[in-house]
Amino acid sequence: MKKVPYRIYLPEDRIPRQWHNIRANMKEQHEPFLNPATGEVLKKEDLYPVFCEELVEQEFDTTHEYIDIPDEIVEFYKMYRPSPLVRAYNLEKALNTPAKIYYKFEGNNTSGSHKLNSAVAQVYYAKKQGITKLTTETGAGQWGTALAMAAKYFNMDLTVYMVKSSYYQKPYRKAVMETFGATIIPSPSDTTEAGRAILKQFPDTNGSLGCAISEAVETAFKTENCRYVLGSVLDQVILHQSVIGLEAKAAFEMIDEYPDIIIGCAGGGSNLGGLISPFMKDKLEGKHNPYFIAVEPASCPSLTRGKYAYDFCDTGKMTPLAKMYTLGCDFQPSPNHAGGLRYHGMAPIISKLYHDGYLDEARAVEQTKVFESAVLFSQVETILPAPESAHAVHVAIQEAIKCRESGESKTILFGLTGTGYFDMTAYASFHDGTMTDYIPTDEDLERGFAKLPKV
């Protein structure tokens, strides 16, 4: 039998020309967004002041299974895609496991993560509508960086509200975004009502993703010809990220394999949603039965310990209500190092699939264990993973070790969402032993649940 190559790249004629819309395959749709003021189901028009129209169209699309990727975006993707599907031979050897481990590597662009896949799409549709300015928030900085790259490419103005703790901890992230022409404001700031209100209540706050979202949305609302863009959580983002899963599935077809276990880290749920989309279609249609695992940090356990309820997507309570697994929009996760996984909620699509049992398992893992796996992975596979990605690495290793113990040779696929070069403070604290594992108590979580909106 021919040995599977270390890196499997798709030839040009197999690269995806359409995104896959998993909603068209779902047996039941997730609950609709609600207008927080009236409690009524949100209409497309309600979102036009915030998002550009084509993206609103995609957000509401439950029927088209495939949506054409515009040529301009296909061309942009060619600068860094298709991304490789990698057979982790060295990791298998290091673990002495009979499992076959594959990962889909999304860190091969300057922003260092999968977020560019949706950033370019969102900027493109805004530009097409004649929008000239965009706002967004960024936590760890990956989304802001990806968006800055895409915005500069299409010559759009971009203002990024960056969570204050990251702003000071990650000066190089800010410098990269500035290199691509973006304006960066630490959040909470005094440039918005939402920011001023939070500062008044919590003058020493480090900021949070939810709060930065409030500021960006308010700015989009109040600025002429400006729209807001969001890097995760939304259905449209999972749609764009389906390019990851489509490429992975095509690569598996080339080598005549199919994954038994599919693992992704889950912050807002976009990389996981994109990676699993076409495989989930197979599961929903009864063609294959892969086992899906979402991995989240024990410090921000929205799927494993959250409530499935309507909640605001932001701390400032400006956004529509979404039905999702949530810790409550006031939940302030302790500052852990996987900034991109510190969101209080989870994508409605992922939440629904998990609630209905199609997404088989959510697993919460502790950060020091995650970094042990990150270091092992770096040393044998020579890619230094982002702390977020390392959550998936860790669970892939756990599953491979189970195979060693049971003697089963399962095929494992995980999403390696990005590289960790901007996270060396985190690696340094792991090496010098100052890294801690914070796990919220039930009382901590109750405080967040108590404030869930009554719907």
Binding residue for ligand PLP, selected from 26, 265, 365, 383, defined by CB under 6 A: 265
Residues in region 140-179 near ligand PLP by CB under 6 A: 142
Nearer to ligand PLP, 211 or 386 (CB): 386
Residues in region 64-123 near ligand PLP by CB under 6 A: 113, 115
Residues in region 412-451 near ligand PLP by CB under 6 A: 417-418
Nearer to ligand PLP, 67 or 338 (CB): 338
Nearer to ligand PLP, 273 or 410 (CB): 273
Does 388 interact with ligand PLP (rule: CB under 6 A)?
Answer: yes
Does 301 interact with ligand PLP (rule: CB under 6 A)?
Answer: no
Least gap, CB of 321 to ligand PLP (angstroms): 20
Nearer to ligand PLP, 386 or 403 (CB): 386
Does 296 interact with ligand PLP (rule: CB under 6 A)?
Answer: no
Give how many residues touch ligand PLP by CB under 6 A.
19
Binding residue for ligand PLP, selected from 16, 188, 328, 340, defined by CB under 6 A: 340
Does 269 interact with ligand PLP (rule: CB under 6 A)?
Answer: yes
Rounded CA-CA distance 403/281 in Å is 26
Piece of 269-277, 319-327, 394-402, 443-451 that binds ligand PLP (CB under 6 A): 269-277
Nearer to ligand PLP, 236 or 271 (CB): 271
Binding residue for ligand PLP, selected from 135, 206, 219, 271, defined by CB under 6 A: 271
Does 208 interact with ligand PLP (rule: CB under 6 A)?
Answer: no
Does 36 interact with ligand PLP (rule: CB under 6 A)?
Answer: no
> Using CB under 6 A as the criterion, which residues of the chain lie in contact with ligand PLP when the complex forms?
113, 115, 142, 232, 265-272, 340-341, 386, 388-389, 417-418
